[in-house]
């Protein structure tokens, strides 16, 4: 089963008992941390840690109740949709293992504007991310990175 985060650039979670899978509870906690801590535009803003903890606890409860089996959906207070879908069959998939034509003419959205930068919680796939406005009018995360990966004079051989 896969917990799908319907937000461009967001990571989805493979849910299960295998060593490469995550538990549904861990995935829900990670997403609740993100919503409670990094969605100030859609939620009442508060620098108060107790308020963020209460929002996080509410989201964990709602997501845990709503996301139980394949086909279940949940929309977070920040507007992001989550759903549980089936895992693709091992070895199978689109085209039953046959190659299909690839076209470079498909126009994928491109970044129109950087809207903001956000810190990510510990345990995320990076410590910062850029939220952008795409050419199709949507907003979402375009890239995540670790803040300590910025080039320094040492990295550039003394040149900047």
The full DSSP string for 63-107 is: HHHH-SSTT-EEE-TTS-EEEEEPPPPTT--GGGG------TT--
Q: Quick one: 70 and 122 in the same domain?
A: no
Question: Is the model more confident about 74 or about 42?
Answer: 74
Evaluate whether 15 touches 21 at the Cβ level (below 8 Å). Answer: yes
- The confidence band for 153, taking pLDDT boundaries of 50, 70 and 90, is low
Confirm whether 156 is domain-assigned.
no
pLDDT at 93 over 50: no
Q: How many domains does the chain have?
A: 2
Confirm whether 54 is domain-assigned.
yes
Q: Quick one: 118 and 66 in the same domain?
A: no
Q: Quick one: 64 and 10 in the same domain?
A: yes
Model pLDDT, residue 46: 52
Evaluate whether 152 touches 121 at the Cβ level (below 8 Å). Answer: no
- Predicted TM-score (pTM) of the model is 0.51
């Amino acid at each position: 089963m896969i917990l799908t985060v319907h937000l461009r650039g967001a990571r989805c979670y493979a849910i299960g008992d295998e060593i490469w899978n995550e538990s549904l509870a861990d995935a829900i906690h990670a997403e609740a941390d993100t919503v409670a801590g990094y969605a100030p535009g859609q939620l009442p803003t508060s620098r108060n840690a107790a308020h963020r903890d209460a929002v996080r606890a509410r989201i964990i409860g709602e997501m845990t109740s709503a996301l139980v089996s394949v086909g279940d959906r949940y929309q977070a207070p920040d507007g992001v949709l989550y759903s549980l879908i089936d895992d693709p069959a091992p070895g199978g998939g689109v085209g039953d293992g046959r190659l299909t034509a690839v076209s470079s003419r498909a126009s994928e959205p491109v970044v129109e504007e950087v809207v903001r930068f956000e810190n990510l919680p510990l345990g995320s796939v990076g410590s910062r991310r850029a939220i952008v406005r795409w050419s199709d009018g949507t907003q979402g995360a375009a890239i995540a990175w670790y803040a300590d990966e910025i080039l320094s004079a040492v990295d550039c051989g003394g040149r900047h």
